[in-house]
Amino acid sequence: MKDLAFFSKNQLSDHGEGLFDHLPGFLYFVKDTKLRFVSANNRLAKKLGVSTPEDLLGKTDWDFFPPGQANAYAKDDRQVIATGKPMYNKVELVPRGKGFVDWSTTTKIPLFNNDGKIVAIAGTTRPFSTGTSAIDIHSELGVSLKAMHERFSENIRVTELAKLGNLSVSTFERKFKKQLNMTPRQYIRHLRVHDACYRLSHSDEHLVAISAACGYVDQSHFSKEFSRITNETPLQYRKRHRAKN
């Protein structure tokens, strides 16, 4: 528990968790190099089902998330620790209970001691909509985004999306990636998985029907894409969330 002892001895009265509780939707955390929580804001504590941030201390993501999801978070944590390079605005789907998922963007940075050694990582996760609401309404991407949300199950082409915004394909793709941190095709894949999550947890539809409704070529393609984005199979997701609903 060396890292925990270090933070216990040297911690400030507030690492910033109070600040992030006043920013709508923001989750804040600090983990030591063993990936144990050493600080968090109240919103994260409540989201993980405990009463206070102190209840998180010494615990890891594996205490709160399914193995596949915890492993994915740990992979990013270890990369930041190993390289010393921050990870900015990674877009991911995170659960919010009862089978629903939200889009969020996560940033993680390394924390160094006076000797230049990485002793922890700090991170924030914020609702994806916080960074895109203005884009949806005001920017030249707005019409294209609206079409993507309405027609994600179709084989809508990037050329058509670019034309809706009166942009060339290259300009559309460049602006899209700059604003949303992913390509148009990646965005559509996430929209499909988002819809599939709801169907899996709130209906008895067969996987074949869900895959077709969400725009996948077949069930195999659906299962592969779903597992890649959520880190668990469609059946695992359904079993876990149907048991809670």
Instruction: Find the CATH number of the domain harbouring 153.
Output: 1.10.10.60
- pLDDT value for 8: 47
Inter-residue long-range contacts of 170-176, CB under 8 Å, 24+ positions, other chains counted = 172/141, 172/144, 175/140, 175/141, 176/141, 176/144
The residue type at 64 = F
**Mean pLDDT, rounded, for 123-149:** 71
The verdict on 47 and 148 lying in the same domain is no
Q: Say whether both 118 and 157 belong to one domain.
A: no
E-assigned strands of 36-130?
37-40, 87-97, 100-112, 118-127
Which of 109, 128, 147 is a domain's end point? 128
Instruction: Provide the domain limits for residue 66.
Output: 2-128
Under the banding of pLDDT at 50, 70 and 90, the label for residue 126 is confident
Give the tens place of pLDDT for each residue, 23-64: 778 899 999 999 999 999 998 999 888 999 999 999 999 998
Question: What is the mean predicted confidence (pLDDT) over 121-127?
Answer: 91
- What's the confidence (pLDDT) of residue 123? 95
Specify the number of domains making up the chain.
2
**What CATH number should be reported for the domain holding residue 116?**
3.30.450.20
Range name among 4-8, 56-60, 125-129, 191-195 with the lowest pLDDT average: 4-8
Would you say residue 29 lies in a domain?
Answer: yes
Q: Collapsing DSSP states into helix, strand and coil, what is residue 100?
A: strand
What percentage of the chain has pLDDT greater than the value 70? 82
Instruction: Give pLDDT tens digits for 171-196.
Output: 999 998 887 778 999 889 988 998 99
Enumerate the β-bridge partners of residue 111.
Answer: 120
pLDDT the model gives residue 98: 60
Residues 49 and 69 in one domain: yes
Give yes or no for residue 129 having a pLDDT over 80: no
Instruction: Yes or no: say if 187 and 149 are a contact pair by the CB < 8 Å rule.
Output: no
Beta-sheet strand order (sheet of 27-32): 37-40, 27-32, 118-127, 100-112, 87-97
Higher pLDDT, 139 or 56: 56
Q: How many residues does the chain have?
A: 245
Q: Give domain status of residue 224, yes or no.
A: yes
Query: What are the contacts of 203-209 at 24+ separation with CB within 8 A?
Result: 207/234, 207/235
Q: Residues with Cβ < 8 Å from 236, sequence gap 6 or more?
A: 66, 68
CA dist 72 to 61, 132, 191, 227, Å? 10, 24, 20, 12
User: What pLDDT is stored for residue 159 in this prediction?
Assistant: 97
User: In this structure, how many other beta carbons lie within 10 angstroms of the beta carbon of residue 52?
Assistant: 11
Give me the mean pLDDT over the 187-210 stretch. Answer: 92
Q: In the chain, which residue ranges form alpha helices assigned H by DSSP?
A: 2-10, 17-21, 42-47, 67-83, 128-138, 142-151, 158-164, 169-180, 184-202, 207-213, 219-230, 234-242
pLDDT at 171: 95
pLDDT one-digit tens code per residue, 73-118: 999 999 999 999 999 988 777 766 665 667 788 999 999 999 999 9
Span 213-225, pLDDT tens digits: 999 999 999 999 9
Residue 133, in any domain of the structure: no
User: What is the rounded distance in angstroms from the CA atom of residue 173 to the CA atom of residue 185?
Assistant: 10
Highest mean pLDDT of the ranges 12-16, 151-155, 228-232, 238-242: 151-155
